[in-house]
Amino acid sequence: MLRHLLTILILTAAFIEIPAQAVVPETQQSAQTVTLTVGNLTCAMCKYTVENALKQVEGVQSAQVDMEKSIAVVVFDPARTGVEKLIEAVTNAGYPAAVKQ
């Protein structure tokens, strides 16, 4: 009987810890990641041009272009900018962009 009680206590303790872990993503909600497909990436300079165009958008935290995959992975604050603005920045820099499905 005591063993069963201990098991119940351990299970209860494990269950109680779950809400504490669930709080973590909430603190990271200010950052959102989107992957854009980017066309016309022909040389190494293109990579930096696109990355710089994205980083100049207010609210962008990081931008990483993958030449081989023709994509840009962008981390941004959704409260300060949006996917439309990211696409606009890349397109204005001379590279057609779209959200990767």
Q: Which is nearer to Cu ion, 49 or 81 (CB)?
A: 49
The CB-of-57 to Cu ion minimum distance in angstroms stands at: 20
Q: Which is nearer to Cu ion, 28 or 42 (CB)?
A: 42
Q: Quick check: 64 and 72 in contact, CB under 8 A?
A: yes
Q: Which residues bind Cu ion (CB under 5 A)?
A: 42-43, 45-46
Q: If DSSP codes are grouped into helix, strand and coil, which group holds residue 100?
A: coil
- Beta partners for 32? 76
Q: Which two tokens stand for residue 7?
A: 């098991």
Q: Which is nearer to Cu ion, 47 or 85 (CB)?
A: 47
